[in-house]
Amino acid sequence: MITFKTVEYDESQNRLVILDQTKLPEEEVYLTLKTAEDVYHAITNMNLRGAPLIGVAAAYGVVLAAHRGNPVSAGKACDLIQSARPTAVNLFWALERMRNRMRQAKDLYKELLQEARMIEKDDKESCQKIGALGTDLIADGSKIMVHCNAGALATSGIGTALGIIYTAKQQGKDFVVYSNETRPLLQGARLTSWELCKNDVVIYTICDNMAATFMPEMSLVLVGADRIALNGDVANKIGTRGLAIIARYYHIPFYVAAPISTFDFALTCGKQIPIEERNPDEIRMFHGRNIVATSARICNPAFDVTPAELVTGIVTEKCIVTPPYEENIRRLQ
Ligand code: MRU
């Protein structure tokens, strides 16, 4: 079903080939990353993005640095890549796995490559399981609102929120998707429309400020996550909290889809989640044009936190977690 590869490690040349998401939907082009620094830049520039995919790419970034078997280079690669983006906990989770493996490794490169491949395999399997568990949420005739891109482009598999949609589609269910464009970087407009159209899913792209207008018609809202605290508070792309508030007003179920690697068991609530503040030019500029008065100040938080009380359930690879969140999230560990 998925005809593109978001990441592929080429062992013969020790290089990582990634689909350049900044060029979509106009061009499907691939970038070759040869060093951990390249991976760091690809993550910060968002050539690749989405919490699970960032984790997978980070692991391969460490492999690139470990090619000559030098643990110092591999350790430095972990430190550098870890600083690329602060919110998605999958990045830190994947690097922690790589560091643990590094400590015990006899053949550094071989073992780190094995670990990175395992992280990728786990990600693919989690997506499949999330899809299989979440498909029950979709009934024939559903209208589903999604935000940002939590699809195949955000993982190495079929995606999380969109993984559920692909599974429902495969089962022959009849439904339509409403995708918010997701300003400022338009992951919904550029990426979600691209991958859903490639897979013949009926999709309407709407502006973010149309969400309240269309919400009363929706059967459910389905989003991804970048980090989930113990109490069930969910950090995801900016705008998610607004959707959850609107959904609650209209009594529309609001579901999050995320692998267990997205849970941060060390954080008791969402207030502790670091929120990335990105370059103001992402808002100031549009298609190379300055669209904001030059002396206006700009706020550009990339994520927000949706309080657990607005979340109907969280679809993981193990089960659909429902309240009481703290008790049920602890059981995932
Ligand atoms: O800034 P991005 O594009 O990396 O943000 C991505 C999201 O917010 C996704 O919803 C989240 O990472 C889940 S992807 C399965």
Q: Please identify, by atom number, the ligand 1 atom nearest to the C-alpha of residue 88.
A: 12
Establish whether residue 56 lines the binding site of ligand 1, counting it when its CB lies within 6 angstroms of any ligand atom: no
Confidence label for 29 from pLDDT (cuts 50, 70 and 90)? very high
For residue 47, the SS3 value is coil
C-alpha span between 202 and 186 (Å, rounded): 19
Confidence label for 133 from pLDDT (cuts 50, 70 and 90)? very high
Residue with CA nearest ligand 1 atom 15:
150
Establish whether residue 74 lines the binding site of ligand 1, counting it when its CB lies within 6 angstroms of any ligand atom: no
**pLDDT reading at 268 higher than 90:** yes
CATH 1.20.120.420 boundaries in the chain: 7-128
Residue range 242-251: mean pLDDT, rounded: 98
Ligand 1 centroid to Cα of residue 317, in Å, is 18
Establish whether residue 49 lines the binding site of ligand 1, counting it when its CB lies within 6 angstroms of any ligand atom: yes
Establish whether residue 14 lines the binding site of ligand 1, counting it when its CB lies within 6 angstroms of any ligand atom: no
For residue 178, the SS3 value is strand
Q: Which amino acid is at 304?
A: D
Residue (of 300, 307, 131) closest to 228 by Cα position:
307
pLDDT tens for residues 84-117? 999 999 999 999 999 999 999 999 999 999 999 9
Ligand 1 centroid to Cα of residue 295, in Å, is 30
Ligand 1 centroid to Cα of residue 115, in Å, is 23
Count other Cβ atoms within 10 Å, centred on residue 161. 30
Q: Which CATH number fits domain 7-128: 1.10.10.10, 1.20.120.420, 1.10.40.30, 3.40.50.300?
A: 1.20.120.420
**pLDDT reading at 164 higher than 90:** yes
Backbone phi, then psi, for 90, in 5-degree steps? Answer: -55, -30
Q: Which among 236, 240, 282, 311 is the best mutation to test ligand 1's pocket, defined by most ligand atoms within 8 Å of the CB? A: 236
Establish whether residue 88 lines the binding site of ligand 1, counting it when its CB lies within 6 angstroms of any ligand atom: yes
The residues assigned a catalytic role are 226
Classify residue 303 as left (phi > 0), alpha (psi -120 to 50) or beta.
beta
CATH 3.40.50.10470 boundaries in the chain: 134-330
Cβ atoms of residues 139 and 219 within 8 Å: yes
Establish whether residue 190 lines the binding site of ligand 1, counting it when its CB lies within 6 angstroms of any ligand atom: no
**pLDDT reading at 287 higher than 90:** no
pLDDT tens for residues 181-229? 999 999 999 999 999 999 999 999 999 999 999 999 999 999 999 999 9
Q: What is the CA radius of gyration of the chain?
A: 19
Q: Please identify, by atom number, the ligand 1 atom nearest to the C-alpha of residue 262.
A: 13
Task: Name the CATH superfamily, with its identifier, for domain 134-330.
Answer: Translation initiation factor eif-2b; domain 2 (3.40.50.10470)
